Amino acid sequence: MIPINAPQIGEEEIEAVVKVLKSGVLTNALGAGPMVEKFEGDFAKFVKAKHALAVNSGTAALHMAVVSAGIRRDDEVILPSFTFVATAETVVLAGAKPVFVDINPETYTISPEEIEKAITSKTKAVIAVDLYGAPADMKPIREIADKHELKIIEDAAQAHGAIYSGKPVGAYADITCWSFYASKNMTTGEGGMITTNDDELAETLRLIRCHGEKQKYMSTIIGHNYRMPEIEAAIGIVQLRRLPGFLAKRRENAERLTAKLCKAENLQLPREQPNCRNSWYLYTVRLKGASRAKRDAVVEQLKSKGIGAEVYYPWPIHLMPAYRRFRRLRLTETEKAAEQVFSLPIHPSVSAQQADFIGETLLSFL
């Protein structure tokens, strides 16, 4: 089976881990961890952010972002429903209400017009998601947020290396959250990063990451243990160095698939928007006009040929049992996309021949 994603771990990562284990310094809890510090510095430089804080998951990054943005009980946060559940889960954990809005059917990212329609006196923030590694349309979102004094959190968990309007994604947000989960463009096994240009937010985030402690055993705010271990940071340093190579291979595979699949009239292919570069975390196509059953059947056929096609995401969050109470309106484009999309493997271990095989096999089923 060609899996939908595969971690790219080599000798360098293994050596880096062994070195940390031999050093005996396993945590950055007391500020003694050189790996976490270096990883943060390297990542901040890569995304051109003033501050980067390594954490132990993308979900932790999102939770810290929501709390540090001052979102409290009964506040409203506008976000897409067509995303991984963590985007909404952290809003609910903070006691606030997720207000789900629809997406642009071409890019699958949150629709700026729909954001504006959903704003009330209780709205405190917007979360935009760079889904599949395609940047959300941040300029109009920034304008809306400024007009209504809202914070913007960008969920860039899938977008390491993506560019929006000439800058790494995150440039238009107040806080940006990244994931290094095993499937991501770069990984530390589990792990995450939070980036911001705001000194005050960075200070609050630093406190939240470590029990709200300004000094040892003296908490000034409510925090958590969201620290990244040294072993993970050591892997992250190597992965970040290798990321440009991973991105180039993903792009090459994406272009190969597009060259094959552009013949299929009933497929909507992923396209980079003007002024954007995708990180190509997922190559997601839409089977135009298909029912859920028809799409699922094509995915099963691909699997039977050894192609690990997957659906991201079969159920929008507002239709999940745990989140139905937050349902407002029908999200037509979101619900349609959840029925019609599926993703194909383009990760760096997919060879050119395999990419051609994936494209030709799919064409033969259409």
Ligand X SMILES: Cc1ncc(COP(=O)(O)O)c(C=O)c1O
Residue, CB closest to ligand X = 58
Q: What distances in angstroms separate CA 212 from CA 11, 36, 192, 197, 225, one per listed residue?
A: 37, 19, 19, 21, 9
Site for ligand X, residues 264 to 283, rule: CB under 6 A? none
Q: Would you say 164 and 172 are in contact if contact means Cβ atoms under 8 Å apart?
A: yes
> Considering beta carbons, is residue 157 or 261 the nearer one to ligand X?
157
Position among 39, 46, 84, 172 found at the interface with ligand X (CB under 6 A): 84
H or E stretch at 276: strand 276-277
Largest Cα span, the chain: 64
**φ, ψ dihedrals at 126, nearest 5°:** -125, 140
Please choose, out of 8-16, 79-87, 114-122, 300-308, the segment that lies near ligand X by the rule CB under 6 A: 79-87
> Considering beta carbons, is residue 191 or 359 the nearer one to ligand X?
191
Structural tokens at position 286:
């839409």
The contact mask relative to ligand X for 48-77 (x = CB under 6 A, - = no) is ---------xxx------------------
Site for ligand X, residues 86 to 105, rule: CB under 6 A? 86-87
Per CB under 6 A, does 158 bind ligand X? yes
Position among 99, 157, 247, 341 found at the interface with ligand X (CB under 6 A): 157
Q: Is 46 helix (H, G, I), strand (E, B) or coil?
A: helix
Per CB under 6 A, does 155 bind ligand X? yes
Interface with ligand X (CB under 6 A), residue total 14
Per CB under 6 A, does 192 bind ligand X? yes
Q: CB of residue 291 vs ligand X: minimum separation in angstroms?
A: 26
> Considering beta carbons, is residue 186 or 290 the nearer one to ligand X?
186
Per CB under 6 A, does 173 bind ligand X? no
Q: CB of residue 125 vs ligand X: minimum separation in angstroms?
A: 16
Structural tokens at position 43:
């990542």
Q: Is 195 helix (H, G, I), strand (E, B) or coil?
A: strand
Per CB under 6 A, does 129 bind ligand X? yes
Report the C-alpha gap between 171 and 182 in whole angstroms: 25
Please choose, out of 16-24, 39-47, 84-92, 108-116, the segment that lies near ligand X by the rule CB under 6 A: 84-92
Per CB under 6 A, does 83 bind ligand X? yes
Per CB under 6 A, does 82 bind ligand X? no
Question: Whose CA is closest to 355, among 251, 258, 284, 253?
Answer: 253
Q: Would you say 190 and 44 are in contact if contact means Cβ atoms under 8 Å apart?
A: no
Q: Is 123 helix (H, G, I), strand (E, B) or coil?
A: strand
Q: What distances in angstroms separate CA 168 from CA 47, 65, 154, 172, 228, one per listed residue?
A: 5, 19, 12, 10, 23
Q: Would you say 150 and 174 are in contact if contact means Cβ atoms under 8 Å apart?
A: no
Helix axes 230-261 and 11-23, enclosed angle (nearest 10): 170
Q: CB of residue 157 vs ligand X: minimum separation in angstroms?
A: 3
> Considering beta carbons, is residue 282 or 362 the nearer one to ligand X?
282
> Considering beta carbons, is residue 192 or 348 the nearer one to ligand X?
192
Q: Is 6 helix (H, G, I), strand (E, B) or coil?
A: coil
Q: CB of residue 59 vs ligand X: minimum separation in angstroms?
A: 3
Give residue for tokens 């072993």: 231
> Considering beta carbons, is residue 181 or 280 the nearer one to ligand X?
181
Q: Would you say 209 and 52 are in contact if contact means Cβ atoms under 8 Å apart?
A: no
Per CB under 6 A, does 179 bind ligand X? yes
Q: Would you say 337 and 319 are in contact if contact means Cβ atoms under 8 Å apart?
A: no
> Considering beta carbons, is residue 57 or 204 the nearer one to ligand X?
57
Per CB under 6 A, does 195 bind ligand X? no
Please choose, out of 109-117, 153-161, 228-236, 245-253, the segment that lies near ligand X by the rule CB under 6 A: 153-161
Q: What residues make contact with ligand X under the rule CB under 6 A? A: 57-59, 83-84, 86-87, 129, 155, 157-158, 179, 181, 192
